[in-house]
Structure 1
Amino acid sequence: MKTGSIILLALAALAAVGGVSAYVWVSLGDVEISWLGLLAMGFGVVFSLGLGIGLMALVYFSNKRGYDDEAGH
C-alpha cells in the first residue's frame, strides 16, 4: 500500500509539473530566441548532461572498486 501511495504521489506531481509547463508554453506566445540563444542553450544542455553522466560514472566506479567501503569508519 505504501508503494502505491508513492507512485500515485509521483504521478500527481508529474501531472502538476506538466500542466504548469503547458500553461507557461502557451502563455509565452510569439517569443523568439536568437541563434546565439539557441547555441547557448545547446551548450548548456550538453554541458549539464556531460557533467551528470561523468559524476554518475565516478560514483559507479568508486563503489565498484571499493573506495567507498572505508567511508564513515
Structure 2
Amino acid sequence: MRKTGLGTILTLAVLIGLLLLAIVFMIIGWGAPEGGTPMSTAGWIAMGFGIVVTLALGAGLMALMFYSSRHGRD
C-alpha cells in the first residue's frame, strides 16, 4: 500500500471543505425567501422531473459520444 503524502491530505481537505460550503449554500438558497411563498408540491415535482430528464439526456449524449468514438465514427 502506498503512503499518503501531505499534499494528498491537504487536497482532500480542501475539496471536502468546498463540498460542505456548496451544501450550505444549496440549503440556504433553496429555502423560501423571507415574506415569500414556498414552492408548491407541483413545483417540486416539475423541478424533480426536469432534473431527472436533464441528467438522462446528458448521460445518453455521453454514451453516444463514447459509442461513436469506439466505433471510429467521429
Fold shared, TM-score > 0.5 on shorter chain: yes
Residue segments in structure 1 that go unaligned for 5+ positions in a row:
69-73
Greater Cα shift, 29-38 or 41-50: 29-38
TM-score by length of 1: 0.58
- Which structure has greater helix proportion? 1
Question: Following superposition, which runs of at least 4 residues in structure 1 exceed 4 angstroms of deviation?
Answer: 25-31
- The percentage of aligned residue pairs carrying the same residue is 32
Q: How many residues align?
A: 68
Task: Structure 2: state its 5+ residue gaps.
Answer: none
Measured on the aligned residues, the alpha-carbon RMSD in Å equals 2.9
Instruction: State TM-score, norm by structure 2.
Output: 0.58
- Equivalent residue number for residue 18 of structure 1: 23
